[in-house]
Amino acid sequence: MRNYANINFENCAYCLKALGLAIRLKILWLLKKSEKALCVCELAKLLNKSHYNISRNLKELKMIGLIKERREGKYVFYSLAKEKNNFLKYLFKIMEIR
For residue 80, what are the domain limits? Answer: 22-96
Residue 1 lies in a domain: no
**Calpha distance 92→22 (Å, rounded):** 13
Could you report the average pLDDT of every consecutive run of 10 residues in the chain (98 residues)?
A: 73 88 95 94 97 97 94 95 85 85
Q: Over the stretch 36-59, which tens digit does the pLDDT of each residue have?
A: 999 999 999 999 999 999 999 999
**Calpha distance 52→44 (Å, rounded):** 9
- Looking up residue 39, the CATH number of its domain turns out to be 1.10.10.10
Kindly report the number of other CB atoms within 10 A of residue 46's CB atom. Answer: 14
Residue 66 lies in a domain: yes
**Calpha distance 55→39 (Å, rounded):** 10
Residue 13 lies in a domain: no
Question: pTM for the complete prediction?
Answer: 0.86
- Return the pLDDT at 98: 67
Domains held by the chain: number = 1
- Return the pLDDT at 50: 97
